[in-house]
Amino acid sequence: MMEQTFLACVADDEDINWLQSSMSTMGHVLRTPQNLDSVIGLIEATGATLVFVNIDRTNLMSQCALIESLLEARPLTAVVVVGDGFDNELVIAAMRAGARDFITYGQRSSEVLGLVRRITDRLPQLPSRREHGDLSVIYGNQPDADAAFVAVHLALLMQKQGQRVLLVDLGVPNGESLDILGLELSFTFDDAMRNLRRIDRSLIDSAFLVHETGLTVLPAGKSGGALDQCNSSELFLLMSALRQNFDKVIVNICGQEDCEALRTLVGFSDEVNWYSNTSVSACRRNLDLLAHWRDSGIKLDKASLIIDRYSNQVAPDARTLSRTFEMRLRGTVVHNPELRLKAINQGKSVFVLAPRDSLSKDLMDLVKPQSNSVATSLPSRLFARLLESTK
C-alpha cells in the first residue's frame, strides 16, 4: 500500500510523537501551525486528505473556526479532532464544526489506525499531484567534512547524466561544498526559507549558485542551516517547491542534530544514504541513533549505506557493516587524502584532477544500479566486541 501523508495541527511535542508512532504503518504525519493558509498550502503540497486538529477549552473557539474554514475551503478533506474525549463539550463542538471523528490523547495505535482507515477508504480519489523530482538525503550522526565531498561528487555525476540537479548543502561543518566547487557564497538556504513563497523557476535561475557543469547549489549560509531551528512544515514546503523545479534534489545533512525537521526530511525523501566510516566511535554513534529511530517507528527501508575512507585491509569489512547497520550497501569510497586535499584547495572535482584514480572510480560506482539485498554475512566477533565495549 502506498504511504500517505497526514497533517497534524498540534502544538505539543508528545502529541505529535504519539500520532507519528501510531500512524507509522500507514504513512507520515507532518506537523503544521494552526493557521488556515499554512494548512491549505501543505494540503496542496502533500496531497493530504486527512488533518488532525487539536482542540482544548482554552482555544476552543479559534480551533473550531479553523476546522470550519478549512472544510469550507477544502470540502473533500476529512478532519479528525484530537483532545479530551471525556469532555462532552469538546466532542460536541468538534462535531458541530464538521469533524469526522474524535480521538483521545494516548488512544491505542490500533484504534487510531482503524478509525483513519475507515475514514480514508470512504474519501473520493483526488487528482494526482504535479510530478516532482526525487529527493535524496545524505545523513550520518557525526559531523564530517568528507560527507560534503561525497555529496558534491554524487551531484556532479547525476548532473552529467543529463538531469537538472540541485545540491542543498546543510552538512556540518558548514560551507565545504563551496570550496570543493570553487564557488563564492551568494543566495543561501536561509535566504530560501525567508523567501519561501517566492520560490519559482525565475528566482532559481536568477539567484541560485550555478557551477560551470550546470549543477545548482544552495549552501547553508552563515547560520549553518541548523534544522533544529527550522519549522518542519516550512521546510517541507521549501523542498516541495525545489522538487518541482529539479529532476533531483540532493541534501547533505550529515552532522545535523536529531530533530523533528530532520526526521521530516528523512521521512519524505525518496532515498536515504546513511554515511559512516569504519571507526568504532562513528559506527557506535550511528547505530545508537538508528536503534532510537527504529524504536520510534521511523521507517528506513529506503536507506542504504555509504562507507567513506574505507580500507579493505582494516576490519570491519563492508559486508559486516552492511549487516550490522541492517542496510543494503550502496558502496565504499577509499580515502586518498592527498587527492581529496588537492580537489578542495584547487576547487576542482577528482573527476577533473584524476579521473582514473581509485577514488574517482569508487565515487562513480555509487551511481550504478544498486542491489536491494542486505549483506548476509555475520558481524565479525572483534567488531561486535568493540561496539559492545563502547556502550
pLDDT tens per residue, range 280-314 = 999 999 999 999 999 888 889 899 999 999 999 99
Helices marked H in the chain: 13-22, 36-46, 60-73, 88-97, 109-122, 145-160, 176-181, 189-194, 201-207, 232-243, 260-267, 280-295, 318-325, 337-346, 350-353, 358-365, 381-390
- Cβ neighbours for 83, distance < 8 A, ≥ 6 positions apart: 54, 55, 56, 90, 91, 94, 102, 104, 105
Sequential DSSP letters for 89-139: HHHHHHHHHT-SEEEETT--HHHHHHHHHHHHHHSPPPPPPPP--EEEEEE
User: Above 80 in pLDDT, residue 381?
Assistant: no
Counting Cα atoms < 13 Å in the Cβ hemisphere of 344 gives: 15
Is pLDDT larger for residue 127 or for residue 145?
A: 145
Q: Which three cell numbers stand for residue 17?
A: 510523537
Residue 383 has pLDDT above 90, yes or no: no
% the chain with pLDDT above 70: 92
Question: For residue 369, what is the DSSP state?
Answer: P
More confident residue, 2 or 365: 365
**Residues 180, 181, 186, 191, CA torsion sign:** negative
Q: Which domains does the chain have, with CATH numbers?
A: 4-122 (3.40.50.2300), 134-390 (3.40.50.300)
Q: Bigger pLDDT: 389 or 148? A: 148
Average pLDDT over residues 164-169: 98
pLDDT, residue 376, reads 47
pLDDT at 210 exceeding the cut of 90: yes
Assign 125 a pLDDT band (cuts: 50, 70, 90): low
Q: Is the pLDDT of residue 106 over 90?
A: no
Residue 106 class from Cβ within 10 Å (0-12 exposed, 13-18 middle, 19+ buried)?
A: exposed
